[in-house]
Chain A
Amino acid sequence: MSDLSPRTDRPAMAFIPRSSFLVWLNLAITLLIGGAGFGLGFAQGLSAQLVILYTVISSAVLFWLINYVAVVFESRRAAVQESETGEGARSASGAKGVWQGNRALIIAMGLLLIAYLIVTATVPAFRTVPNLLGFLLLEAILVFAFKVSGVFVHGRSAFIGLIVLLALIVISSFTIPGFLSGPNIKAILLFAAFLGIACVGQTLVALLGGLDLSIPFVIGASNIGLLYLIGLGVPSWLAFAIVLTVGGIIGLINGVLSYRLQGQALILTLGMGFAVAGFVQILTSIGSSFSGNVYGTVPGWLQNLAAMNGVTFGLAVPPTILLWIVLAVIVIIALRYSAYGRYIYALGGNRRSAKLVGVSEFKYWTLAYTISGCFAALTGSLLLGWSGGGFIGVGDQYLFTTLAAVVIGGTSLMGGYGGYGFTVIGVLVLQVLSAFLIGIGLKYEWQQFIFGLLILPMVALYGRMPHIRSQV
């Protein structure tokens, strides 16, 4: 995860705790869980190749994660011990002190309790043990999120996101039969991959303090545009390249035009998106009797790339998922260690100082938008492979979900804080939640309603602005 910012008080790559006891403990936990997963995999009758792959990957990720958490706790404790003498005087005593320290937590827990009681009192079918357990789990998450996440200086949002993700997976695997089955996980990851690829650009742009609302329109336009080009007889790889290039050019135009209008990038990209979608639809409906829809055959390699039954190097995993993972690693590393990534953070954090240091604002701004357009086009092309037919409205739901994933992950829309690792967590939370809601039988509109209500508290946990009093 990219929530580890290089600090001055310790080496940037310190993923290993100082105390060797913690290292051994972590290793033991990892081996235990890895072994359990290994056994479960064989018990479920998966092929040995897959089981070994999954076990290795999950153990590595888990080991890295707990080591990271241990490091954060260690350094935090040291910092607290250093400053303990100064802070001792501030803490008030008694009930008032407790209330002042935990006001938000108590209010949130109270609200949740009231909501639970009301629903329980009114809907008889709701009075079941799993629901009670789920409620208690939610309260526990709240306590955890408020009390433990305070320990993290950076990456609070990522930590909360991970907790929520974990809780969601636990709840859904208990309440929904077959939630943890291979096909379901594959489906969740596949849709997460589409959303994640579309979010690459949105994250970069948000890090600079802008927004790109042209993404859904570019997705839809590239979706029908690619099929149209293939239908004209253009070789499919060339058509793919053309669509990606055109997407990049649209992004470039977005960037150049919005450079002087940064406060209104939101509206400008919206307008560009409208224009692009309209233009491509006009183009594709000339000489066609189906206005707006394009019919044709999708080439096999594209279908294999994104369809549910796609195969990667003999593994029954759609290559899109692998592509997303590789992309995520590249973007995270690039944002963290390349000059380009650091300059983006610098510009988003304080534009004026970055400019004075000599960073070309125009260059990075347009580059971020270009990347955004390019990845939107890539998502549209992949969605064509997934669905097998061109449809302009395929990108519509990405208008706000890309934004929601970025926001839930914890990247600030004001720029300068966040990263693609955060967005990956946001994407996974959204997709798992969506799968959970579908699993318990809620329709799309209820999902949307819950997404909307979810964004606010998640952002409120970490994305609050300072009071105007402290800004003067």
Chain B
Amino acid sequence: MSQSRGSQNTYLLVPILLIAVLLSTAVIRGPNLVSLSGFGSAIIVSAPLILATYALMALAVAGRGTVDLAVGPLLAFINVSVVKLNGLGVVTSPLGVFIVALGIGVLYQLLFALIIIVVRVQPIIVALSGFLALTGINLVILPRPGGVAPDWMSSWGLGNTIFSPVLLMLVIATGGWLLFTLTSFYGNLRMMGYDERAAYTSGVRINIVRIGAHVIAGLFVGLAAICYTGLIASGDPTQGTTMTLTAVTALVLGGISLSGGRGGVTGALLGALNLFLIGYVLATFNFGAVQAFVTQLFYGLILVLSLLLTLLVPIIGRYVYFISPFAAFMVLGSIVAGIMLQVSTQTTYVATSTAPVAVPAADVLGRYLLLLPGDPTGAGLPSFSPLLQVLFVLAAVLLAITFTIRVTVAEALSLRLGAFLYAFVSALILLLFFVVAGQSQPLPGDQPASLGEQR
């Protein structure tokens, strides 16, 4: 009984805990993160990593120990191809670039899947083969970093806005996978990853399922390459190996099982963000000349530690089954969001220290209340006395906690993170973005314009 009540997603507890710690540290160490450009650049910098991790995740779920080591060189290959074709003037339009990028990704992954299915070689060998071949051919296409990305991409790398096309791509990719999880194809995929023989004997057409997983991975790699091209605004054939290593690290940090059957977009997202935040936090310490080495050391140590932590997943599942990852995410998320707002408003105070009461209390309060779910009465407060305000906040906090616990219990019983809760979390995140956007930039009007223009 107690076994069946545990959440399937207990493996997410570790990355959630890690991201809370890292995000708090990052915000305290480098308050610039909580600003329009801070978030904007964070998104554009981490987007290729996130999408590449999604691709690895889709393949890891398919089982047989498929770790596509070639994901980095493939990304670099698409990047270099796009830049080269743009330089030759063959493909410059957005539609063309998307077709080329996604097409190469899908074609490569299709080939990968067919080789695994028809030739029946171990996936790791195919990946190794692809890694060497692509790394070599990248340098042939573009001997050294250079070239120019298509014009319409040039503003992406600046990262001075949150609602960029890159965010749109991330949202589409994440949402697409979440929609995909509702289909029976996803069930077959997980079953195949967990036990291929069982899937085969129960009538799953494993070849089709495997091809499907690879095609999805190819799409993710294509998107990642577009984001990467936008980020560096040129071509770089040399970063493939690094990208592979970091994406694999992110995959493991996200708690995704490399032996197949367990994994999801949430874990991959959290893992990639964790890795980005590790880099961010380390960058706030000034190690001077040994900065790169310290980063390398920490990447390695954290990779090893998080792998060892995955040993604890069954134990966590046995003893703390009543904590759903969603609840942990909610509680830790509100704490971190509180810290973030605290830090950001603090800087507002510091910036406007000549006029200490420039920011009205209600505004601050409203901002805090915005984060507490289930309290719609945040608006009409300014006339209350401070005592009443405190009381009100306490009541709101209690209300929020009650709501969270209610949701938590329901979640722990329902065994799955429902689509509704995903929508809820994303709404929460979007609200946070709006708050930050409104705070750092008094002109929210030009964001939809930039969004529309890019499409």
Contact = CB atoms under 8 A, between A and B. Distances in A.
A455 B290 contact: no
Contacts of B267: none
Given A267-B307, A278-B296, A464-B119, A446 B125 contact: no
A463 B121 CA distance: 7
Contacts of A407: 125, 128
A257 B128 contact: no
Interface string A456-472: 10011001111111011
Contacts, number: 172
A263 interface: yes
Interface of A: 211, 257, 260-261, 263-264, 266-268, 270-279, 281-282, 285-286, 291-292, 399-400, 403-404, 407, 413-414, 444-453, 455-456, 459-460, 463-469, 471-472
B258 A274 contact: no
B253 to A, nearest CB: 10
Given A277-B296, A453-B133, A456-B129, 6 more contacts: A274-B299, A413-B122, A455-B128, A456-B126, A466-B120, A472-B200
B388 to A, nearest CB: 54
Contacts of A285: 289-290, 293
A288 B127 CA distance: 39
A278 B125 contact: no
Given A281-B290, A285-B290, A413-B124, A451 B137 contact: no
B280 interface: no
Interface string B293-326: 1111111111110011011000000000000000
A274 B136 contact: no
B55 interface: no
Contacts of A472: 197, 200-201
B156 interface: no
B300 A278 contact: yes
Contact of B294 (A260, A278, A467): A278
A282 B288 CA distance: 11
A7 B293 CA distance: 52
Interface in B50-68: 65, 67
B128 A266 contact: no
Given A267-B307, A268-B304, A285-B289, A274 B197 contact: no
Interface residues of B, number: 55
B248 interface: yes
Given A261-B307, A282-B290, A452-B131, A274 B296 contact: yes
B205 to A, nearest CB: 11
Interface of B: 65, 67, 115, 119-122, 124-126, 128-140, 143, 196-197, 200-201, 206, 241, 245, 248-249, 252, 258-259, 289-290, 292-304, 307-308, 310-311
Given A271-B301, A278-B296, A463 B140 contact: no
Given A400-B132, A449-B137, A264 B293 contact: no
Main secondary structure of the interface of A (DSSP, over half): helix
A257 B307 CA distance: 9
A275 B129 contact: no
B297 A291 contact: no
A14 B371 CA distance: 80
B260 to A, nearest CB: 9
Given A257-B308, A267-B307, A413-B124, A445 B119 contact: no
- Please name the 5 residue pairs, one residue from A and one from B, whose CB atoms are nearest each other, closest first: A274-B300, A452-B133, A278-B297, A275-B300, A452-B132
Nearest to A214: B300
B154 to A, nearest CB: 28
A450 B298 CA distance: 35
A459 B301 CA distance: 34
Nearest to A455: B129
B290 A274 contact: no
Contacts of A274: 245, 296-297, 299-300, 303
Contact of B245 (A263, A270, A449, A456): A270
Contacts of B119: 456, 460, 464
Contacts of A448: 132-133, 135-136, 139
A268 B137 CA distance: 29
A271 B206 contact: no
B66 to A, nearest CB: 12
Contacts of B130: 452
Contacts of A399: 241
A274 B196 CA distance: 33
Contacts of A451: 132-133, 136
A267 to B, nearest CB: 5
A200 to B, nearest CB: 20
A27 to B, nearest CB: 41
Contacts of B122: 413-414, 459, 463, 465
A236 to B, nearest CB: 25
B258 A264 contact: yes
A275 B308 CA distance: 15
B3 to A, nearest CB: 22
B132 A465 contact: no
Given A270-B248, A453-B133, A279 B303 contact: no
A445 B201 contact: no
